[in-house]
Amino acid sequence: MFDSAHSSSETGDSQWISLSDMMAGLMMVFLCIAVFVMRSLIDERAKIRELAESYRDTQLAIYQTLQQEFSRDLDRWGASLDKQTLAISFNNSDALFKTGDFTLSDNAQEIMSSFVPRYIAALTPYMDSIAAIQIEGHTSSEWGEQSAPEEGYFHNLRLSQQRSRAVMQYAHSLLGPAQAVLVRAKVAAVGYSSARPILNTSGIEDADRSRRVAFRVVRDSESHILQILEEAL
């Protein structure tokens, strides 16, 4: 009887040990899975961060390239460079066009002759990350005292489109064949009328500065975001 009880006890201990080993094994499996998942998440976050930093670094590099190329010219051209939008704005289009007209003045042609070839050359190394270069025409909200606001807006819309197209056409004439192909592929002429006015510190439209022509770099953010999403999946 004692032998039977002893044997039964050994069998129970053996079963308990086997169950303990199985539980320990399962815990190790779950621990390995958890470590693997955590490691994968860390790797994915690192990839996303690397892509985001690459986008930011390219943005900064474009800004610094434009700043270095044109820093001595911006003031005398009445122009400015925006770090966030990568837009070079010629802030008083009255110096480029006669009032209500879209024919480039002699002064405008002189400025563009100096600006455009250097601008395209400066951006060429970054073209893979640039979706488009927009030549933007902007006006103030003014258009004759007798005009209704809506009528004035559409008059200015036509004028802003004509001005941006005139600048683009003149820019195209300044470039060699290879650069001209690049312009046709990347550059667009856009007119915004008075939709994007420049405001003074009091929040009131600055009519002189609102009348402007801008060259704005549009980054290829869509494909970059898709790449980030693909890396995260």
Residue 233 lies in a domain: no
Give Cα 45 to chain centroid, integer Å.
22
Number of domains forming the structure of the chain: 2
71 and 40 in a common domain? no
197 and 115 in a common domain? yes
148 and 127 in a common domain? yes
Any idea what the CATH number is for the domain that residue 204 is in?
3.30.1330.60
> Residue 189 forms beta bridges with which residues?
135
Ranges of the chain with pLDDT below 70? 1-22, 24-25, 37, 40-51, 144-147, 221-233
Longest dimension (CA), the chain: 119
62 and 45 in a common domain? no
Range of the domain at 202: 58-228
Question: pLDDT for 170-208, tens place per residue?
Answer: 999 998 888 888 888 899 999 999 999 999 888 899 888
Cα–Cα separations (whole angstroms), residue 122 to 23, 66, 119, 156, 169: 65, 7, 5, 32, 20
